[in-house]
Structure 1
């Protein structure tokens, strides 16, 4: 156990543990308050666990709770996370999965409404916010997150879009097994969850930054002090109005890093002209922090 905790500082451990607790609460609310009462099937491994739980009595004659099924389904996927993504990421994801299963088991199911549309929208929004929050915090909710992150690293596609593609299979399975109206409601929940995940998880959104400054050395120093980003320098740029010489700097940051860029520019050259283009596509190498 001592070797395990040497992988990360104590303060970092406590903070990430709190993120895991937040996700576990959100996921439990989404499943127990909306998905289960509305017969909505979630995205990812949670949806698979719900389907297997629904079928458990017919298949083995015993009702297996969603919490237990979720935990068992995640076990083999930890190997993918351990070898393809990162050890700390996988360890904390394991903690998150265990807490989620525990909270789902101890939190009672509450029927706030049986309207499947309301359950799909609110359940999807809560689950998407939870997944996006954990990914933004350097964690994962487990399951298909491991697969989605591995694919994102190879292709550059967003987590939400990859998740939606995978979860079409869950929607089809729900339709074939329980009726196509449940497939439709589950599709709404999966779509909402994917979009909310993309809105919350801003580390994957890349932004091109053009800086025109008279103090390039100070700007470069401040940016690279706060961010691990390469910068292209174009010297002797000429302004059309005064014909004065300035320097143009080009870089790409993530939306998550934007506040740090603003802080660096404010202290280095508050009078610089900065243009930011949202959601640019990148070909070639772009550093992304490991989990």
Structure 2
């Protein structure tokens, strides 16, 4: 629990830096309640921290009677740390003022790092997550669709005081942030699930085990073109190993067949992608 809280606090500090010192400083709009707080701040001049609290409080009160206290605790702690850090970084850290495209990319990268750190803790990271969970359970709306809708509405609401150019840059920032977050969660290395149908299955398996140091699985298969039994080999390899397997199988100059697809969420010996 202490480890989760530590990394949530670190992630939200980085998130607050991206929100205040990069996005808000360069007139870009963040997603979620942070983005709404920015819009209302620029329209009314109200304090951002106060707006964040006012918008989140009703959701947490409702959620307190609807969901487990553990889930609400983590979501509340995460949101509290973000709100707290917003006030700190606004007062003590310098703003990163630059051109819009540099702000969009740098804000997306820093925000994506923060999002990846928090999401790897597998907890709700704020009131938006609780609403997303409710809509998924009660209305059948996927979490991805919910975030797409709410973030689009938030960003385009800034047209009230801004222009379309800044909206485009804000969308670029959101895209970069999602890509960076995914990479931190899934990993930068690409792995492939390889299926090989060949009469040379013993030689290919020996190559996979000895030369590539990967495991392989045999599955009894049937070639429907000549109704002949063949052995299907399955293995999970990285990109460089996939190239090596292709070249090795091609060297037989026969009718061996290879099918490879990208595979995520790999857990086990020799792999560290979760």
TM-score of the superposed pair, with normalisation by structure 1: 0.60
The residue that corresponds to 2:60 in the other structure is 78
Give yes or no for the alignment of 1:90 onto 2:98. no
Give yes or no for the alignment of 1:42 onto 2:24. no
The residue that corresponds to 1:19 in the other structure is 7
SS in 2 for 1:237: strand
SS in 1 for 2:220: strand
When Rg is computed on C-alpha atoms for both structures, the one with the higher figure is 2
Listed as ranges, the matches of 1:6-155 within 5 Å are 13-57=1-45, 63-64=46-47, 66-78=48-60, 86-107=68-89, 108-150=92-134
Call closer, same or farther: CA 1:88–1:239 in 2, change over 3 Å: same
Shift of 1:94: 0.5
In 2, Cα distance between equivalents of 1:170 and 1:120: 16
Shift of 1:128: 2.4
Contact 1:171–1:184 (8 Å) recurs in 2? no
TM-score of the superposed pair, with normalisation by structure 2: 0.63
Unaligned runs of 5+ in 2: 197-217, 224-228, 235-262
Contact 1:32–1:109 (8 Å) recurs in 2? no
Call closer, same or farther: CA 1:239–1:72 in 2, change over 3 Å: same
Call closer, same or farther: CA 1:127–1:80 in 2, change over 3 Å: farther
SS in 2 for 1:112: coil
Work out which of the residue numbers 234, 237, 251 in structure 1 matches 2:220: 237
The residue that corresponds to 2:165 in the other structure is 181
Call closer, same or farther: CA 1:86–1:115 in 2, change over 3 Å: farther
SS in 2 for 1:113: coil
In 1, Cα distance between equivalents of 2:140 and 2:186: 17
Unaligned runs of 5+ in 1: 1-12, 58-62, 213-234, 249-253, 264-291
Contact 2:195–2:232 (8 Å) recurs in 1? no
State the number of aligned residues.
Answer: 217
